[in-house]
Amino acid sequence: MGAVNVWEVQSTTEFEAARGQSPQPRLSQRHRDIATASGVVPEGLARLCGLDWFPRFYTEGEPRKFKLYQVSGIEGLTDGMYANPIDPVVKVILQRWFGDAA
């Protein structure tokens, strides 16, 4: 049985991030002991990274919101962080993840 955590992340500018003013990700949903991703994880998501990393997003101008799906142990999906395809103007930065995926 697997698990899916749904995170809401807001982008920041590189200047704000350098000053330590990045918004914190918010865990919005937890799904435990599920066998398939249907009904939990939407179709057409792109895998951003493995479970050892957590993506942050840098943009210029207005902040954008992103929904991330942290997938672990679901048949048919490789463990990792998933999101809708990212716009090319958004810079994805991977930070080391020390949390528990389950």
Q: What average pLDDT does the structure give for the chain? A: 89
Please tell me the predicted confidence (pLDDT) of residue 82: 96
Please tell me the predicted confidence (pLDDT) of residue 20: 77
| pLDDT 10s digits, 25-46 | 999 999 999 988 888 999 999 9
Mean pLDDT of 44-61: 91
Mean pLDDT of 68-92: 92
Domains of the chain, by residue range, sit at 2-96
Convert the chain into a string of H (helix), E (strand) and C (coil).
CEEEEEEEEECECHHHHHCCCCCCCEEEEEEEEECCCCCCCCCCCEEEECCCEEEEEECCCCCCEEEEEEEECCCCCCCEEEECCCCCCCEEEEEECCCCCC
Instruction: Provide the pLDDT confidence category of residue 102 given band limits of 50, 70 and 90.
Output: low
